[in-house]
Amino acid sequence: MNLKNSIFEKKVLLVGSGGREHAIAWKLAKSERVSKIFVAPGNGGTATTNKCENVNITDLDELVVFARENNIAFTFVGPEDPLTKGITDKFKAAGLRCFGPDSRGAQLEGSKAFSKDFMKKYGVKTAQYGTFTEYDKAKAYLENCEYPIVIKADGLAAGKGVVIAATKEEAMKTINDFMISDIFSGAGQKVVIEEFLEGVEASILSITDGKTLIPFISGKDHKQIFDGDKGPNTGGMGVLAPNPFVTEEVMKEFEENIVANTLKGIQEEGFDFKGIIFFGLMITKKGTYLLEYNVRMGDPETQSVLTLMESDLVELVQAALNSRLDEVEVKWYDGACVNVVLASNGYPGTFEKGFEITIDESIKDKVFLAGAQLVDGVLRTSGGRVLSVVGRGRTVQEARKEAYGLIEKVDFKGKYFRRDI
């Protein structure tokens, strides 16, 4: 291997267009090992990030051609959709390096039923469940359930395919929406119905090469739109990291049951899994349960976790791709991060977009853009969740004070945010 090419002047391809990808691009760009980051398709944040250039490509085969023609050292896949569609398999077949699981491993997120069956098979602690492809059988099952109950669309539904039904009527309406009205265009034709676990949710991102798994700092997501966890679910309105409920005892149970059995399963199933695995946990009085796997970084957890990471992300990715994660240690800032999402007024319902965004130049490094595009040199809103501001401090109070102070230096028409992250 050419030493110069293996350590310095690497060109990297990053796939995706959200706030998560802006944060990943920002973190990759900090590495001296990288000279250029192409982001496909990127957004208004990546358009102006150091070392970054947006390329308007989303087709997987075209991305393979681009990576080959531009001598890309490795490709980092941000979202789940290309992973479930086999981007890693395509890159591997072309002799190219891709950070993310193969399509079989990606089914841990791509199919809720596959994921729950995997957990059950390998002894990962999770809620009791049933899987249904026939509406009448799902309906009959709901007649005799204890409520509340959780109903999940089997396929990818952009984080919107999970409903906690408090009553039988709500549950019946949900399976009708999923299976008959088909609101998720096929993703809800199969449903998983599972017991409701009461407790505190936690998110733990981690990196794996299929042999070793290193957990990152935990996060506490705030999914509902209004203060006090009220109102409809969103893609996430803010994150506190580390999660104060993830104690040493929780981490011990997580590592001994969930991590160990997940790794065992990955190996026994023969998944080629060099990438990120995200654990959605529920901490209950009866112990720590796994709610779900994601096979990529969470959004907006990524913005918080990478703000606290002091290690070189490129170094970690290369160690995973080379199956040498057991040789590295991840270093963290000793403190906390509070990440507050600024959304368009009306989100998660209907909202207007196209409004100009102004960000004080002095805080550029603490703002990650999601639903924002650069239009003729002007940043404009283009989505529901527009951006995140991240505050960091030695204590949660310090981090929170910084985050809410930053919000005053960002403006766009109709900006909405929770005041209790």
What is residue 1's predicted lDDT score, i.e. its pLDDT? 39
Q: Quote the domain boundaries for residue 240.
A: 200-327
Regarding whether 349 and 322 lie in a shared domain, the answer is no
* Residues 8 and 32: beta-carbon distance below 8 Å: yes
Other CB atoms within 10 A of residue 316 CB: 20
What is residue 160's predicted lDDT score, i.e. its pLDDT? 75
Domain count, the chain: 4
* Residues 17 and 35: beta-carbon distance below 8 Å: no
Regarding whether 313 and 257 lie in a shared domain, the answer is yes
Regarding whether 216 and 178 lie in a shared domain, the answer is no
CATH for 216: 3.30.470.20
Helix axes 103-110, 260-269, angle to 10 degrees: 130
Q: What angle do CA 155, 156, 161 make, to 5 degrees?
A: 85
| 261: nearest Cα among 119, 72, 62, 117 | 119
Dihedral of alpha carbons 110, 203, 289, 200, sign: negative
Question: Which of these three, 327, 350, 376, is where a domain ends?
Answer: 327
Element (H, E) at 230: strand 230-233
Q: What angle do CA 102, 152, 382 make, to 5 degrees?
A: 75
Beta pairing partners, 12: 37, 74
What is residue 377's predicted lDDT score, i.e. its pLDDT? 92
Q: How far is Cα 382 from Cα 364, in angstroms, rounded to an integer?
A: 19
Beta pairing partners, 53: 38
- SS3 sequence of 311-372: CCHHHHHHHHHCCCHHHCCCCECCCEEEEEEEEECCCCCCCCCCCECEECHHHHHHEEECCE
C-alpha distances (whole Å) from 204 to each of 109, 217, 291, 344, 413 are: 15, 7, 12, 28, 34
Do the domain assignments include residue 123?
Answer: no
CA 272 to chain centre: 20
Regarding whether 179 and 220 lie in a shared domain, the answer is no
What is residue 9's predicted lDDT score, i.e. its pLDDT? 66
Regarding whether 204 and 311 lie in a shared domain, the answer is yes
* Tokens 């089914």 belong to residue: 107
Q: How far is Cα 273 from Cα 104, in angstroms, rounded to an integer?
A: 9
Do the domain assignments include residue 104?
Answer: no
Q: Which residues are CB-neighbours of 181 under 8 A, at least 6 positions away? A: none
* Residues 86 and 102: beta-carbon distance below 8 Å: yes
Concatenating the DSSP letter of every residue in 267-283 gives HHHT----EEEEEEEEE
* Tokens 């981007």 belong to residue: 87
Q: How far is Cα 328 from Cα 325, in angstroms, rounded to an integer?
A: 5
CATH for 380: 3.90.600.10
Regarding whether 248 and 149 lie in a shared domain, the answer is no
Output Rg (C-alpha) for the chain, integer angstroms: 21
Regarding whether 185 and 283 lie in a shared domain, the answer is no
Regarding whether 364 and 345 lie in a shared domain, the answer is yes
Q: How confident is the prediction along the chain (421 residues), in pLDDT tens digits per residue?
A: 344 444 456 999 999 999 999 999 999 999 999 999 999 999 999 999 999 999 999 999 999 999 999 999 999 999 999 999 999 999 999 999 999 999 999 999 999 999 999 999 999 999 999 999 999 999 999 998 999 999 999 988 877 788 999 999 999 999 999 999 998 988 889 999 999 999 999 999 999 999 999 999 999 999 999 999 999 889 899 999 999 999 999 999 999 999 999 999 999 999 999 999 999 999 999 999 999 999 999 999 999 999 999 999 999 999 999 999 999 999 999 999 999 999 999 999 999 999 999 999 999 999 999 999 999 999 999 999 999 999 999 999 999 999 999 999 999 999 999 999 9
Regarding whether 88 and 175 lie in a shared domain, the answer is no
Question: Which of these three, 189, 215, 236, is where a domain ends?
Answer: 189
| 405: nearest Cα among 382, 389, 388 | 389
CATH for 18: 3.40.50.20
Residue 206 has which token pair? 């981690």
